[in-house]
Structures are given as structure tokens and as C-alpha cells.
Amino acid sequence: MSLAICLGCVAGAVTSGFGQAKPNPTSIEEKTKIHRLATTKRAIYDAFVYLNRIPEKAEEDEAPEDFAGRILGRLANQEGRILIKLPEGMDRQAYLGYKIFLESEGTAKAGNCIACHAPPDFTDLKEHLSSRGGSKKPTPSLRNLAKRKVNVRQVIMAKMASSESKRSPSAEKTDAAYGKMYLNKGDMHQLMAFLKLLNDVPEKDFRKLILNATILDTSEDIE
């Protein structure tokens, strides 16, 4: 079902001495013709965040797990009302991958990725030990992996191996975040679908992602 988005209201106008509104040429909203657009990032994920009013970043001193819980609560509310909006280029698999990315509770479908890769930049800019016998390395951003020619499948498989290693008796030094990661090969495909949403699209195409959005059918259990 097509989603009609009202983009007629454009913020960022300045008023002249005669009381008439004059467009501000530096406004993001004026350039894109999209109301309420704060971010300058241009990936399908950013269109999804805009459409569903997802918090863009954690509040000051908010833990990544709490931030993820706040987002998951918002998604659950929208699912129950059948109001999850998917921008063009995003499908159910990618949506489920997003939820796995956020989840840090339980022993099924918990990626706990947000512990080190929190939005909006998808990196905490810290160093982490991800493998036994390795050394601490800075957390890379997950944005624009395609442009950097990163093999996403290999990255996820390495994370899965690290999570299994963390649960062995000899992995005390591996970062604790890996101990909360529970993934299987089926989850990997959904995570890959989500990570593709973090690749930037041309500015001219971003508006179409929102205009051509559809409603995800959540009338049955999304899981």
C-alpha cells in the first residue's frame, strides 16, 4: 500500500521586513523539500528513521542498551498499530535485521551490535578486543561499507566467531559485548540486508525513498 507523505511544509524560512516568508537557501529542508529533516546523512536507513520518527542518537549519558530499548519500544508500538513505514529499497528482511542489530537481551536473535556501533555514525570511536590473542582495534563505522569494499558477510561471520569464543573459559579479555551476541546463519542474511541500508544514495534520490514508502504488514506476529 502506497504511503502518501505531505512534504508541503518546509521549515527554515526567514521573514523579510514586509512580513513575507523568504526561503533560506542553506536549509536542508528547503533543499530536499522534506519537512522536519534534521540529518544531512543520505542512506536508506536515514529515510527509515525520518519516516518512523526513530530517535537519531542516544541522549547524554544514555547507555547503548537503553538507547536500543527505547527504539525497540517505539518499533513495537508502531508494529501493533501497523504503522511501520519502509522507504523504497528496504524490505521485511532488512527490518528484521535492524531489530537483531538492536537486540541485546535473550539468547535468540540478539546481535548486540549497537553496543559498539550506535547510530548515527555507527561507531563508538573506542578500541575493542574482538578475538583471543588479538589486539585492541578502533571500532570502524558501518556506514558506506560498499564504498569501502568491505565484505559484509565475512565481517558478520567474524563477529559470530568472536561471540562463540567469548563464551569459552579462555576468553576473559575479549570485550563483554560479544558475550551478549547470539546469532545463527539465518540471522546473518537479515543483518546483511540491514547493513546495506547504511550505504549513501545520491542526494537527488533521497527524497524518492520517502515519497515511495510503503507500510509493512505487521498484522501477524512480526517474529
Give the least confident one: 7-21, 27-41, 58-72.
7-21
Quote the pTM value: 0.82
CA 217 – CA 121 distance, rounded (Å): 29
pLDDT score for 223: 57
C-alpha atoms less than 13 angstroms from C-alpha of 206 in its C-beta half-sphere = 26
Distance, in Å, from the CA atom of 122 to the CA atom of 116, rounded to the nearest integer, reads 8
Domain extents in the chain: 1-37, 40-215
Residues ≥6 apart with Cβ < 8 Å to 10:
23, 27, 29, 30, 33, 35
Q: What is the pLDDT of residue 26?
A: 65
Does the pLDDT of residue 165 top 80, yes or no? Answer: no
Are the C-beta atoms of 41 and 199 separated by less than 8 Å?
A: no
Per-residue confidence (pLDDT) for residue 221, from 0 to 100: 65
Nearest to 85 by CA among 4, 197, 8, 193: 4
Top-confidence residue, 127 or 105: 127
pLDDT of residue 171: 56
What one-letter code names the amino acid at 104? S
What is the reported pLDDT for 104? 85
pLDDT, tens digit, 9 for 90 and up, residues 172-223: 667 778 778 888 888 999 999 999 999 999 988 999 999 999 999 998 866 5
| Topology of the domain comprising 40-215 | Cytochrome Bc1 Complex; Chain D, domain 2 (1.10.760)
Burial of 106 (0-12, 13-18, 19+ CB in 10 A): exposed
pLDDT, tens digit, for every residue of 60-108?
999 999 999 999 999 999 999 999 999 999 999 999 999 999 998 866 6
| Residue 10: per-residue pLDDT | 36
